[in-house]
Chain A
Amino acid sequence: MSKWDALPGYLSERDGGDMPTVTVEASRIREACEHARDELGFAMCVDVVATDYLGWGGKGVSGYIGTASGRDLMHPMTQGLQTLPELKPRRFAISYHLLALQPGAPRVRLQCWVDEDEPVPSVVSVWPTCDWHEREQYDLMGIRFEGHPNLTRILMTDDWEGHPLRKDYPLGGEPVRFTDEE
Chain B
Amino acid sequence: MTSTVERSQTYDGTRIPPRVPTILDVPDELRGSEDVFRINFGPNHPSTHGVLRLIVDLHGEEVVGLAAVIGYLHTGFEKTMEAKTYWKCVTYPERIDYVGYQNNELVFSLAVEELLELEVPTKAKWMRMLLCELNRIHSHLVFLGTSALELGAISMFWYCFRERETILDLFELVTGQRMHTRYFQIGGLAEDIPPGFYPECRKFVEWMPHALDDYLALLDRNQIWLERTKGIGTLSAEDAVALGQTGPNLRASGVDWDLRRDQPYLHYDQVDFRVPVYPNGDVYDRYRVRMDEMAESTKIVRQCLDRLERMEGMPWIADDRKVVLPPREELHTSMESLIHHFKIVTEGFRVPEGEIYTAVESPRGESGCYLVSDGGPKPWRIHFRSPSFVALEATATCMHRALVADLIAIVGSLDSVMGDTDR
Q: Does A147 contact B (CB under 8 A)?
A: no
Given A43-B241, A47-B370, A66-B117: A52 and B381 interface contact (C-beta under 8 Å): yes
With A47-B368, A156-B74 known as contacts, the answer to whether A131 contacts B375 (CB < 8 A) is no
Cα distance A65–B114 in the bound complex, in angstroms: 13
Determine whether the beta carbon of A131 is less than 8 Å from that of B356: no
B209 CB-CB contact with A under 8 Å: no
Is there contact, CB below 8 Å, between B262 and A105?
yes
Q: Which of A50-78 contact B (CB under 8 A)?
A: 51-52, 56-57, 61, 63-68, 71, 77
Residues of A within 8 A of B381 (CB): 49, 51-52, 165
Cβ–Cβ contact A57 & B243, under 8 A:
no
A45 touches B244 (CB 8 A): yes
Partner of B22, one of A65, A67, A131: A131
A32 to B263, CA, bound (A): 25
Cα separation A44 to B115 with both chains bound (whole Å): 25
The stretch from A4-12, A14-22, A113-121 touching chain B is: A14-22
Number of A residues near B (Cβ < 8 Å) is: 54
| Contact code string B384-423 (vs A, CB < 8 Å = 1, else 0) | 0100011011000000000000000000000000000011
Q: How far is the CA of A61 from the CA of B257 in the complex (A)?
A: 41
CA distance A17 to B358 in the complex (A): 10
A39 close to chain B: CB less than 8 A: no
Residue of A nearest to B71 (CB): A155
When C-beta atoms are compared, the residue in chain B nearest to A45 turns out to be B244
Q: For residues 217 through 276 of chain B, which have their beta carbon under 8 Å from a beta carbon of chain A?
A: 241-244, 246, 255, 257, 259, 262-263
Q: Give Cα distance in the complex from A171 to B76, angstroms.
A: 10
In the assembled complex, B200 has its CB within 8 A of some CB on chain A: no
Is A103 part of the binding interface, using a Cβ–Cβ cutoff of 8 Å? yes
Whether A44 contacts B23 by the Cβ 8 Å rule is no
Distance (whole angstroms) from the CB of B383 to the closest CB of chain A:
4
Contact between chains at B117 and A68 (CB < 8 Å)? yes
Residue A85 lies at the interface, judged by CB distance under 8 Å to chain B: yes
**Within the assembled complex, what's the spacing in Å between the Cα atoms of A19 and B255?**
23
B385 to A47, Cβ gap below 8 A?
yes
Chain B residues whose C-beta falls within 8 Å of the C-beta of A77 in the assembled complex: 350, 375
A61 touching B385 by the CB < 8 A rule? Answer: no
Q: Are B71 and A157 in contact (CB under 8 A)?
A: yes
Q: Is B323 an interface residue (CB 8 A)?
A: yes
Residue of A whose beta carbon sits closest to that of B359: A46
In the bound assembly, the distance between CA atoms of A105 and B353 in angstroms comes to: 25
In whole angstroms, what is the CA distance A149 to B21 when docked? 9
Question: Are A83 and B375 touching (Cβ within 8 A)?
Answer: yes
**Are A46 and B71 neighbours in the complex by a CB distance under 8 Å?**
no
Q: Are A97 and B21 in contact (CB under 8 A)?
A: no
**Chain A residue contacts of B246, Cβ below 8 A:** 46
B284 interface residue, CB < 8 Å from A? no
B349 at interface by CB-CB < 8 Å: yes
Max chain B CB contacts within 10 Å: which of A47, A64, A68, A124? A47
Contact residue among A19, A52, A85, A157 (Cβ-Cβ distance under 8 Å from B357): A19
Knowing A86-B353, A131-B20, A164-B79, the reply to whether A44 touches B322 (Cβ < 8 A) is no
User: Is A179 interfacial (CB-CB < 8 Å)?
Assistant: no
Candidates A45, A56, A131; contact of B21 at CB < 8 Å: A131
User: Quick one: given A16-B354, A97-B385, are A64 and B241 in contact (CB under 8 Å)?
Assistant: no
Hey, which bits of chain B sit against chain A, CB under 8 A?
A: 16, 19-23, 70-71, 74, 76, 78-80, 82-83, 114-119, 241-244, 246, 255, 257, 259, 262-263, 320, 322-323, 347, 349-350, 352-359, 366, 368, 370, 372, 374-377, 380-381, 383, 385, 389-390, 392-393, 422-423
- Listed in ascending order, the chain A residues whose CB lies under 8 Å from chain B are 16-19, 21, 43-47, 49, 51-52, 56-57, 61, 63-68, 71, 77, 83, 85-86, 95, 97, 101, 103-105, 107, 109, 124, 127-129, 131-132, 136, 140, 149-150, 153-157, 164-165, 169, 171
Q: List 17 A-B contacts (CB under 8 A).
A: A16-B354, A43-B241, A45-B244, A46-B368, A51-B380, A64-B349, A66-B322, A66-B352, A77-B375, A101-B241, A128-B16, A128-B242, A136-B389, A149-B20, A150-B22, A169-B79, A171-B80
Q: Which 3 A-B pairs have the closest CB atoms?
A: A129-B244, A128-B21, A105-B263
